[in-house]
A = this chain, B = another copy of it.
Amino acid sequence: MNENVKVAIIGSTGYGGVELIRLLASHPRAAVTSVISSSSAGAPIAEGFPHLSEIRTDVLDDVDPALIMSKADLVFLATPAGVAAKLVPSLLEAGLKVIDISGDFRLKSRDSYETWYKKEAAEQQYIDQAEYGLAEVYGDRVKGKDFISNPGCYPTATLLGLVPAIKAGYIDPATIIIDAKSGVSGAGRGASLGTHYSELNENFKAYKVNKHQHIPEIEQVLSDAAGCPVITTFTTHLVPMTRGIMSTMYATIQGGRSLEDFISLYRHYYEGRRFVRIRNAGIWPATKEVWGSNYCDIGFAVDERTGRVTIVSVIDNLVKGAAGQAIQNLNLMMGWDESLGLQFVPAYP
């Protein structure tokens, strides 16, 4: 499986889709051969996205599995919740490889999906077929697969920050508290009072406290890592910026582990994985340090007074939290180096 690949993007007019276009434009082995949007089919994509002027001169296609099949080998779905659940079966049947960036195939339990997403779940057989592509944790399972479910933005930042410590028994899984913050692009391109500039600028707000649909996704992976059910306290906040997620995580340390133990554990766990960077003692990452790139940067503080560790993990929600990790999964599926076409230096300042 070593040829180049032609890809189509369903949901090209959302932020996830248009970021795929940006990133894939410099991928050496993948070419975007169809940009697809049910709502804007027929219009030149650069009309709605002038930053693509003279870069992409093609017209948006409609969602049509036969048409997609005639143009592409693999399709990314960057669609709202509930859409991929219905589309994916026909795409797989048509013989396409599929990477779903929406949350429709992440939860193994249909009940859980319906509880948290308030939508009808996908059919169980397709859920079972989907490989959950948290690249640095489950990357080995992705290789050679045809259907990948790409992790959510909050789960990516959070899980990369917690999995090694849980697997190694360094923290008590019952004590995990996750305080997460996201830039506004995570809310998507839909216009609402909740995404209005004047409402969000010079404002910091909490939302969906204990109610965010990424909670079961996080708990599913943490439970898998711990070998027992894990439940967490998870709060989401909106930061007046466009891109970036920080997950600040708290847990009680087990086994008297020190700051150096944590740093060393994580460096070992992520050895050879180019996109996770562990900060030295006393340094915590900031979201800007990964802006526009596929990195996840992690730092630690150990408080001997309280016996707790504080883990700070940052990603660009549209890259490592969506389009970038999806391309990383594409690379893994194809048996290529996972960093192919993704070696961007973060944009600073």
Contact = CB atoms under 8 A, between A and B. Distances in A.
Interface string A193-234: 101111111111111011000000000000000000001110
Contact of A231 (B202, B246, B306): B306
A101 B341 CA distance: 29
> How many subunits of this chain does the assembly comprise?
4
A62 to B, nearest CB: 21
A205 B286 contact: yes
Interface residues of A, number: 83
A147 interface: no
A100 interface: no
Given A191-B195, A306-B233, A343-B26, A287 B181 contact: no
Contact of A191 (B54, B191, B207, B274): B191
A184 interface: yes
B15 A349 contact: yes
Interface string A180-196: 01011100010111011
Interface stretch (A91-99, A103-111, A297-305, A326-334): A297-305
A133 interface: no
B240 A240 contact: yes
Counting from the closest, the 8 A-B pairs by CB-CB distance are A205-B286, A203-B288, A179-B179, A209-B301, A198-B349, A51-B346, A22-B345, A51-B289
11 contacts: A22-B346, A25-B343, A50-B283, A51-B289, A54-B277, A179-B250, A189-B198, A205-B246, A206-B248, A206-B285, A231-B306
Interface of A: 15, 18, 21-22, 25-26, 49-55, 177, 179, 181, 183-185, 189, 191-193, 195-207, 209-210, 231-233, 235, 237, 239-244, 246, 248, 250, 274, 277, 279, 283-293, 297, 299, 301, 303, 305-306, 308, 310, 312, 314, 343-349
Given A51-B293, A177-B308, A292-B347, 9 more contacts: A15-B198, A22-B346, A26-B26, A51-B346, A204-B314, A205-B288, A206-B284, A231-B306, A242-B349
